[in-house]
Structure 1
């Protein structure tokens, strides 16, 4: 047990895999919890950020123990990490329906910058392993993220109705189908003076497929469009 502990403290393939795997697990726990509450930064975003942060620290240790640099090896890396935030911010958009888009892309850019630091110092093992993990997050975990989001009890929808009087019908339909309304925001749309947009946070008593809820609200006479956000 003691030898394993020493091995994991050193820079080797086993310790790299272990640290980045833990970054996936710990970042995934936080991201899954945030995703279930319908927050913009969910599972994959948190995992990517955690992987990148772990890789920076592994790279710093590599520079000290393997390359034997006498100066502070983290200064240049710190500037790159802080500077990549401006590039990542450019990929984040807020749509007309108040949907936040581009967070996973921004996190991927940040993690890619971390891989670049590792490659630049010759830390090939860490960069290769991190690249594989990031690729898995953006492909395989995307399906899992979509599945869990569609099964959560909380669902936020954007409902566009023709008149103000139709709002009460939407609320009544939600309550009559064993669901609660936890938050509502009403806004005028640009299409027409009479058309009203509703941002509704719905809490289900039992888990159901979100498509059924969208079809239920979309079947109302005075509803123009229904979208999950």
Structure 2
């Protein structure tokens, strides 16, 4: 029985309180990024951005824990943090590409895909404990998503939102 208890309550490098804080903050930051997409009634909205951000944070924490595990302390095992970034980028790019469509001569979904990519980067930063980077990325991303839409509407580059439908330019989505 002690073996089972030990299996399900492993010692981690990061304290559990830090892990909880990193994951919770990733969810909140992902929510901030997904909020505008939700308000614009896009297919990848609040929940999707929150999950992408959370998943990236989980992968970051797992990577930190793997590097610290005694089983991987052998000289033959080399840690390469860039692989983590590449794996998350590739995975989210695949997911985001599913939202980009070509319809009636227009490309749609690029902004949604870019927002998901930013959510992944924000989650990665939060998962690694790079709070300032995560917070700034989220703040700047939210500003770009919300304020630039208003500016585009005022400059007549985009139709205003009407009856729950977001006005879109060909590259938005």
TM-score normalized with structure 2 length: 0.44
> Which structure's residues are more often helix, by fraction?
2
TM-score normalized with structure 1 length: 0.36
Higher RCO (CA < 8 A, seq sep 6+): 2
> Which structure's residues are more often strand, by fraction?
1
Rg larger for: 1
